């Protein structure tokens, strides 16, 4: 029971002959048990009232129903279920009009589709994104959307999980009218009365039929090929396609039963568990530990030291979010090159339609340049992104300490160096921490916020908040060589390098991991990023492993001057004209000769064993990182791998995967 002073989440009000049912369940009006119960109770009252001719369902707050309450997933169902709710809406003797604003997603859109009509603000968006959680719509979405929006549109929306704007939804028939003003309620009531005045109410969605025609069969067949290619191991898009295809084969009621059967199969799948795990893991990672008070300062201006690839990308992150940023270089010529490169990147984005010309101009206007640290006297945060040399960073931070205001936060983008050692150049090391972006910084989602034992809670909470503003998946980790991300990646790479010594070819290694779901194989990644980068990083390790086999194939290639794509040769040979990678027998023989010198016994490794060892190496290192306190949650490490290294989202991350396997 609700306390007397708490309003119920669903209320009914009469506007003449129109009943208005308002859902107010902040923050996003999810379809909790209380909302479902309240909706049916209010609808029952409206149906029983002889004066009511139509019903409008609208939501308070910033959005229409944004989906089902996923905290109820896996728990015993509570009646009324969403299926019962949408069936009651569909069967209602009085026409129901759904008034949409914000986002109508998942169960929210299924609720709207069960209404007779839908109108929405111009800014409204709709979607059935269940595939992103390893599920399919389970309350009629796969049967109703094809009937109102067409089979082709439904297949595209549901198998991809894409959100659709109101104007596009109107064009496909999913929305009946778009409202340009702000008063959605008045527009919905007016639309309902106009519709009643015209008479001849349209049929219920469940009464519409789709023909099992040759054309519709061809549409399904085409989409099956398309989805099979795009899904790359993910099951739910193909299951969704199967459910949608029933809309042309079966009567509505039977199609619903088939949808429910397929939905429940997805709900119990390992992939859905993994996708739901990473969904919650990303939200948990964004929250500060209880021991750190959330006392952030506002970041209204920034500076980036270094105009190389990483520095330029970081500067764009700020400009993309309307935060003025200064790029600092040592020489004017280098600065000009950096600013031209940023402008060129924005120009490409504009020409491809990703941003408008106006956005291009606005973002460039937010980026200034300087060759003088004294110009940074007023900035709120400075991020250093120069060479991975401790002495270079020392000099920079010593200068920043003199020129920046005392409350400015000083961050380093170092990938592996000791941040406490860097902070020793600053009078107040509490304002120093790591902001480890991943390249290209303006595209990659992952951001490691690295605290030292001296970093202030203000600096930590400010940078975690900033990461969110910049649109990053921020993960808070501790100081230590390689932090969490690169340390785990090093373990992954080490295992692959060991198997190369054992006789696995680069092609076999890469193909095994691509088949497992990784976007690229580890040897190809090293060639792309530059074999010399890792080689130089390992030289900086204060406690290198004593094992002579450690990364020996990569180090051998680096010592030969074979750095990968940039030299035309690495683990693969690259065609100088096309850039296409080709297996290099000489490199394979070079590695095998080194293996013999190191007395490494060659073995035959099936693909499954390669995959098991590679993923197991990540999880084992993750456990060590947790034990040492570098990370506090195993799920944070999953967030790092899914967002930073192309680990298949539908496997949930290496720690989740290992726990599922019982490792």
Strand, helix or coil for residue 126: strand
Please give the CATH architecture assigned to the domain spanning 302-484: 3-Layer(aba) Sandwich (3.40)
pTM of the model: 0.90
**Cβ contacts of 229 within 8 Å, gap of 6 or more:** none
Length of the chain: 663
DSSP tally for the chain: helices H, then strands E? 26, 19
Q: How far apart are the first and last CA of the chain?
A: 44
Do 10-267 and 488-629 show the same overall fold? Answer: no
CB 410 within 8 A of CB 427: no
Helix (H) or strand (E) holding 272: helix 270-285
d(CA 362, CA 659) in angstroms, rounded, equals: 47
**Cβ contacts of 650 within 8 Å, gap of 6 or more:** 134, 233, 234, 235, 271, 274, 275, 517
Q: What is the pLDDT of residue 1?
A: 43
- What's the CATH number for 488-629? 1.10.1040.50
Q: What is the pLDDT of residue 457?
A: 96
Q: What is the pLDDT of residue 553?
A: 97
Q: Token digits for 407?
A: 């409350």
How big is the chain by its Cα radius of gyration, in Å?
28
Residues tagged active-site:
110, 130
Q: What is the pLDDT of residue 447?
A: 97
Looking at 137-183, list the stretches that DSSP marks H as alpha helix, in order from N- to C-terminal side.
Answer: 141-149, 151-160, 166-172
Domain boundaries, the chain: 10-267, 302-484, 488-629
Q: What is the pLDDT of residue 71?
A: 75
10-267 is classed CATH 3.90.226.10: yes
Q: In Å, what is the CA distance from 485 to each residue of 466, 475, 630, 643? A: 20, 10, 10, 11
d(CA 564, CA 528) in angstroms, rounded, equals: 6
Low-confidence spans in the chain with pLDDT less than 70: 1-6, 74, 663
Q: Half-sphere exposure of 592 toward its Cβ, with a 13 Å CA cutoff?
A: 12
Strand, helix or coil for residue 257: helix
Strand, helix or coil for residue 212: coil
* Burial of 123 (C-beta count, 10 Å sphere; 0-12/13-18/19+): middle
d(CA 409, CA 456) in angstroms, rounded, equals: 10
β-strand pairing of 18-23 with 54-59: parallel
- What are residue 573's DSSP bridge partners? 569, 582
- What are residue 18's DSSP bridge partners? 15, 54
d(CA 385, CA 325) in angstroms, rounded, equals: 14
């Amino acid at each position: 029971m609700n306390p007397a002073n708490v309003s119920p989440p669903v209320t009914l009000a009469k506007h003449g002959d129109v009943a208005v049912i308002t859902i107010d369940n902040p923050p996003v009006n999810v379809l909790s048990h209380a909302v479902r119960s309240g909706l049916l109770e209010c609808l029952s009252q409206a149906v029983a009232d002889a004066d009511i001719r139509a019903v409008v369902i609208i939501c308070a707050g910033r959005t229409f129903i944004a989906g089902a309450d996923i905290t109820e997933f896996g728990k015993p169902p509570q009646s009324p279920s969403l299926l019962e709710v949408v069936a009651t809406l569909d069967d209602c003797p009085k026409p129901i009009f759904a008034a949409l604003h914000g986002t109508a997603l998942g169960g929210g859109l299924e609720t709207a589709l069960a209404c007779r009509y839908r109108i929405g603000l111009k800014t409204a968006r709709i979607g059935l994104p269940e595939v992103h959680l390893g599920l399919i719509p389970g309350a009629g979405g796969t049967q109703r959307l094809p009937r109102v929006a067409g089979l082709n549109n439904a297949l595209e929306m549901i198998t991809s999980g894409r959100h659709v704007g109101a104007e596009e939804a109107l064009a496909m028939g999913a929305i009946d009218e778009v409202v340009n003003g702000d008063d959605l309620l008045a527009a919905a009531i007016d639309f309902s009365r106009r519709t009643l005045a015209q008479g001849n109410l349209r049929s219920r969605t469940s009464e519409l039929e789709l023909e099992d025609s040759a054309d519709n069969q061809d549409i399904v067949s085409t989409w099956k090929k398309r989805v099979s290619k795009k899904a790359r191991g993910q099951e739910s898009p193909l299951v969704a396609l199967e459910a949608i295809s029933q809309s042309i084969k079966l009567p509505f009621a039977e199609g619903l039963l088939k949808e429910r059967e397929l939905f429940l199969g997805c709900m119990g799948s390992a992939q859905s568990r993994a996708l739901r795990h990473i969904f919650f893991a990303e939200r948990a990672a964004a929250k500060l530990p209880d021991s750190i008070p959330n006392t952030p300062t506002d970041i209204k201006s920034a500076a980036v030291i270094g105009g190389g690839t990483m520095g330029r990308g970081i500067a764009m992150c700020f400009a993309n979010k309307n935060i003025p940023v200064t790029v600092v270089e040592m020489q004017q010529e280098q600065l000009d090159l950096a600013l031209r490169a940023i402008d060129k990147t924005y120009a490409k984005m504009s020409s491809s339609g990703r941003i408008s010309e106006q956005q291009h101009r606005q973002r460039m206007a937010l980026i200034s340049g300087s060759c003088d640290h004294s110009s940074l006297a007023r900035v709120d945060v400075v991020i250093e992104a120069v060479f991975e040399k401790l002495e270079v960073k020392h000099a920079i931070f010593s200068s920043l300490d003199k020129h920046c205001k005392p409350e400015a936060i000083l961050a380093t983008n170092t990938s592996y160096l000791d941040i406490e050692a860097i902070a020793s150049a600053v009078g107040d090391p509490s304002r120093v921490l790591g902001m480890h972006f991943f390249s290209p910084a303006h595209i990659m989602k992952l951001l490691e916020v690295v605290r030292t034992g001296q970093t202030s809670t203000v600096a930590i909470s400010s940078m975690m908040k900033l990461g969110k503003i910049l649109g990053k998946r921020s993960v808070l980790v501790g100081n230590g060589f390689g932090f969490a991300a690169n340390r785990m990646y090093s373990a992954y790479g080490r295992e692959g390098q060991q198997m190369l010594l054992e006789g696995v070819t680069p092609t076999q290694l890469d193909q095994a991991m691509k088949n497992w779901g990784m976007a690229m194989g580890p040897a190809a990644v090293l060639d792309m990023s530059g074999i010399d980068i890792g080689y130089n990083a390992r030289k900086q390790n204060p406690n290198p492993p004593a094992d002579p086999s450690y990364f020996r194939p990569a180090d051998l290639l680096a010592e030969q001057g074979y750095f990968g794509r940039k030299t035309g040769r690495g683990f693969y040979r690259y065609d100088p004209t096309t850039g296409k990678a080709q297996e290099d027998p000489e490199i394979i023989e070079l590695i095998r000769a080194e293996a013999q010198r190191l007395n490494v016994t060659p073995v035959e490794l099936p693909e499954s064993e390669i995959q098991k060892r590679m993923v197991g190496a990540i999880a084992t290192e993750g456990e060590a990182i947790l034990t040492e306190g570098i990370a506090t949650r195993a799920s944070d490490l999953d967030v790092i791998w899914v967002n930073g290294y192309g680990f298949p989202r539908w496997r949930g991350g290496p720690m989740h995967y290992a726990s599922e396997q019982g490792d």
